[in-house]
Amino acid sequence: MCCIFFVLVQSDPRSSAMISSLQSHYYNQNTGLWQNGWWNSGNSLEAVIEYIQYSNDNKFLNVIDNAYTHTTTGQSETGSFDDDEWWGITWYRAYQLTKQTRYLQRSIDIWNFILSHAWDTTKCGGGIWWSSDKTYKNAITNELFFVHSTLLALEQPSNSTYSHYAALEWTWFENSGMINAQYLINDGLDSNCRNNHQNEWTYNQGVILGGLFYLHQMTGNATLLSIAENIASAVMSSLVYSDGVLKEICEPNNCDVNQLQFKGIYMRYLAILIKGLNDANKTKFTNWIQLNANAIWNNARNPSDSTVGAVWNGPANQKATATTQTSALDCFNAVMLIS
């Protein structure tokens, strides 16, 4: 199996403060989840897993088993296919960390469900439907299936089904038109299977970076990394405040609980991409992640409890939630990964 996840001992006290605040303020031991939405809790769990992986701090290791015990595979086979995929990827991350095959099996079960219920060629020539209503093919659902497929293909190279769909998904996505002329990704396709020119959410720019990096590991195709770098460079040029700090289009006051999760997801996957780069852009992207982390710590963090609100360049007295705290933790996890 190729080494597709990174084991580091790069403990950062700022990351420790972020996760401690997340767990003390927003975690429910009795449900195994956090005080946010279903898919958001999947991302909170993934952030905790990556904190453990990158820091070598096992203080919160029991959180993984607790989430598994209090949830079922059926809860992630809902027909909200993007929500389902977040959990499918998270359970794979849990397996990577612990090597417990029950986590891998749940991840595989979710992938099989998505393939059998969400992929078809009846509209737009392929791709994953957003939901069981089958009215919309969008970026995030297809990007998540892309990442999930590549991870399982690298984990089980003897199973050609995963690699087949990883390659098929990317070919479809690249030709779908969702990557616009500025190398940013719009939300999805319209009824005529054309780019709908809806918002360029940060997480749509992020998840694709992971899929391209993992597909590069599968194939050795350097063009995939070039495409990923173009997307990451476009984010740094366009989706930022004047000081260079990452910005969601709905900020400062119009983001819902889902949109508040997006920026951390972008940082998660940018850091994974950076670990695979050997060119000059590696330093550029590394410095930019550090800039964002410093802004969070110095300007957006409440110094009394290390909670963080939506806007990363401040102020420090913003409303914080499980979602905003997870997003901030993702940024500091990214710092540990690239250090």
Distance, CA of 145 to CA of 143 (rounded, Å): 5
- Distance in Å from the first CA to the final CA of the chain: 25
Residue 10: predicted pLDDT: 57
Distance, CA of 314 to CA of 302 (rounded, Å): 10
* Amino acid identity, position 211: G
Distance, CA of 235 to CA of 333 (rounded, Å): 19
Q: Residues of 122-157 as b/e, b for ≥16 C-beta within 10 angstroms? A: eebebbbbbbeeeebbbbbbbbbbbbbbbbbbbbee
* CATH of 13-338 among 1.20.1300.10, 1.50.10.20, 3.90.1520.10, 3.40.50.1220: 1.50.10.20
* Amino acid identity, position 327: S
Residue 218: predicted pLDDT: 96
Look up residue 207 and give its two tokens: 């998840």
Task: Report which DSSP code applies to 299.
Answer: I
Distance, CA of 295 to CA of 126 (rounded, Å): 41
Residue 1: predicted pLDDT: 43
Look up residue 134 and give its two tokens: 């089958």
Distance, CA of 117 to CA of 97 (rounded, Å): 29
Q: Which residues of the chain have pLDDT under 50?
A: 1-4, 7-9
Helices (H) and strands (E) in the chain, counts: 12, 2
Q: Is the peptide bond before 303 cis (omega within 30 degrees of 0)?
A: no
Distance, CA of 88 to CA of 26 (rounded, Å): 22
- Cα 56 from chain centre: 21
Residue 280: predicted pLDDT: 85
Burial class of 74 by CB neighbour count within 10 A (0 to 12, 13 to 18, 19+): exposed
8 A C-beta contact, residue 98 and residue 106: no
Rounded to 5 degrees, φ, ψ at 67 are -65, -40
Could you count the other beta carbons within 10 Å of the beta carbon of residue 5?
Answer: 19
In the block, which residue shows the tokens 């399982």? 152
What Å distances lie between residue 158 and 36, 153, 253, 295, CA to CA?
Answer: 38, 8, 49, 45
